[in-house]
Amino acid sequence: MKVKVIGAGSIGNHLSNAARQLGWSVDLCDVDAAALERTRTQIYPGRYAAWDEGIRLFTAADAPTGGYDLICVGTPPDSHIALGLAALAEKPRAVLIEKPLCTPDLTGAQQLHDLSRDLEIAVFTGYDHVVGKAAAQVSAILTKGTLGAIATIDVEFREHWGGIFKAHPWLNGPQDSYLGYSERGGGASGEHSHAANLWQHFAHACGGGKIAEVSATLDFVRDGTLDYDRLCLANITTQSGLTGRIVQDVVTQPPRKWARIQGDNGFAEWRCGFKPGCDAVVHQVGDADPSTSLIEKTRPQDFVRELQHVEHALASERLPADIGVERGLDTMLVIAALHLSHRERRSVRIDYTKGYTLDALKTL
Ligand SMILES: NC(=O)c1ccc[n+]([C@@H]2O[C@H](COP(=O)([O-])OP(=O)(O)OC[C@H]3O[C@@H](n4cnc5c(N)ncnc54)[C@H](O)[C@@H]3O)[C@@H](O)[C@H]2O)c1
């Protein structure tokens, strides 16, 4: 596979490294020459032991176009749609766009969907947790049906973003990037939207359908130019009436990345970072004692698995839905609905027949 990675920041390094682990060729580009230098001398050797001379670095203006199997967009969310459309125009076999797929005003979301469909080029989103081993184990439990009728799903991504800034020592704080601006795809609603995506994933796995109604409370920090939600709390109902809760925040420490599916005959819990270097699935059926399955892995391995998933998807006749563009856009509709619900202090219904635009949202 021949890959172009756009954006030489935190995720651009992870995706470049993962592609190299798979023996793929990588061209990595960035608008900022300092980011390329930082990648070569600091981020990549700091994370993966040594710089890989096989990776070709380009400033965005000089980057080659055309001839790639996969183009990865790993830039701030407010540039995803424009770069995604440009990537599709290069006619690769697939495009992988980082989460969140766009900004909460959904600008360009439908256009991206339509161009991907018209050109018959698969677009994937970077919600890597849903293709991780722990999520696969939970989905397998749900598919077996041993938990009985599912009563509720609860997903939390609660993590103080100190960790993010540790991984970005060149940023002084949220004001220096999209992170401090919910409208640009930052804040807890955008940055930790893995939770909304994982909720959808497990709801589909147990036949609960799409999220149909949300009621949300966000807690905003508005200070100088900063404008971001630090807490995003949502009650959710699906098309089939399954109810549950999504919590995303950038204040909790130590972090808690957790999902629980409760049935009338047992439960399954997805635990990210259960121990250092280890995820876990805790599971109980009937009167049996709970069992804990440990899944050893590192963060760089998550992205290897994600790219393997993309490779397998391209090789198969039917593209799996889990990190497909529609699931990523469904997550964006939910994020947009959370913002509207908070603003209007009302519940919001999502009408998927209206497409990926704000017209799909109706306050109740
Ligand atoms: N899947 C995950 O778990 C995961 C992890 C980290 C980040 N992300 C996502 O990846 C995206 C980027 O996050 P990050 O932490 O890597 O940010 P970052 O700030 O570390 O890096 C972004 C890079 O993109 C570059 N850039 C901006 N516009 C560009 C353009 N038009 N062309 C080329 N380069 C451009 C910037 O100069 C910067 O170097 C965000 O959407 C974030 O949510 C996802």
Protein residue with least CA distance to atom 33, ligand 1: 30
**11 Cα: distance to centroid of ligand 1 (angstroms):** 6
**76 Cα: distance to centroid of ligand 1 (angstroms):** 5
Between CA 31 and CA 36 the distance in angstroms is 9
Q: How many CB atoms lie within 10 A of CB 8?
A: 31
Q: Which atom of ligand 1 is nearest to the CA of 302?
A: 3
Helices (H), the chain: 10-21, 33-38, 44-48, 80-89, 109-119, 133-144, 162-167, 187-191, 194-205, 299-315, 325-344
Q: Which atom of ligand 1 is nearest to the CA of 35?
A: 39
Per-residue pLDDT tens digits for 155-177:
999 999 998 888 888 888 999 99
Q: Which residues line ligand 1 (CB under 6 A)?
A: 6-12, 29-32, 35, 60, 74-77, 79, 83, 98-99, 126, 128, 168, 177, 191
Per-residue pLDDT tens digits for 52-62:
999 999 999 99
Between CA 232 and CA 161 the distance in angstroms is 14
**Sheet strands side by side (includes 291-296):** 291-296, 278-285, 266-275, 256-263, 150-158, 243-249, 226-238, 211-223, 348-350, 361-363
C-alpha R_g of the chain: 20
Protein residue with least CA distance to atom 14, ligand 1: 10
Helix-, strand-, coil-residue percentages of the chain, each rounded to 5: 40, 30, 30
For the cut 80, the answer to whether the pLDDT of residue 317 exceeds it is: no
Q: Parallel, antiparallel, or unpaired: how do β-strands 291-296 and 278-285 relate? A: antiparallel
Widest distance between CA atoms in the chain: 63
Q: Which residues pair with 237 in a beta bridge?
A: 213, 243
pLDDT at 258: 98
Region at 347 (left for phi over 0; alpha for psi -120 to 50; beta for the rest): beta
Mean pLDDT value across residues 216-221? 98
Per-residue pLDDT tens digits for 241-263:
999 999 999 999 999 999 999 99
pLDDT at 63: 98
**Sheet strands side by side (includes 94-97):** 56-59, 25-30, 2-6, 70-73, 94-97, 122-125
Give me the domains of the chain, ranges plus CATH numbers: 2-98 (3.40.50.720), 129-297+324-363 (3.30.360.10)
Per-residue pLDDT tens digits for 94-105:
999 999 999 999
Amino acid letter, residue 329: L
- Ligand 1 pocket test: which of 4, 6, 11, 303 has the largest number of ligand atoms within 8 Å of its C-beta? 11
Mean pLDDT value across residues 310-336? 93
Mean pLDDT value across residues 173-185? 95
Question: Cβ distance 199 to 234 under 8 Å?
Answer: no
How far does CA 190 lie from the centroid of its chain?
9
pLDDT at 321: 83
pTM (whole model) above 0.85:
yes
Structure tokens given for 331: 């997550």
For 259-325, give the DSSP string: EEEEETTEEEEEEEEEETTEEEEEEEETTSPPEEEEEE--HHHHHHHHHHHHHHHHHSSS--STTBH
**292 Cα: distance to centroid of ligand 1 (angstroms):** 35
Between CA 112 and CA 274 the distance in angstroms is 36
Measured CA to CA in angstroms, residue 344 lies from 13, 98, 231, 323, 340 at distances of 40, 29, 17, 31, 6
Q: Parallel, antiparallel, or unpaired: how do β-strands 25-30 and 211-223 relate? A: unpaired
- Ligand 1 pocket test: which of 4, 6, 10 has the largest number of ligand atoms within 8 Å of its C-beta? 10
Protein residue with least CA distance to atom 36, ligand 1: 7
Reported as half-sphere exposure (CB side, CA atoms, 13 A), residue 67 has a value of: 6
**178 Cα: distance to centroid of ligand 1 (angstroms):** 9
Tokens 């009302």 belong to which residue?
346
Between CA 263 and CA 152 the distance in angstroms is 7
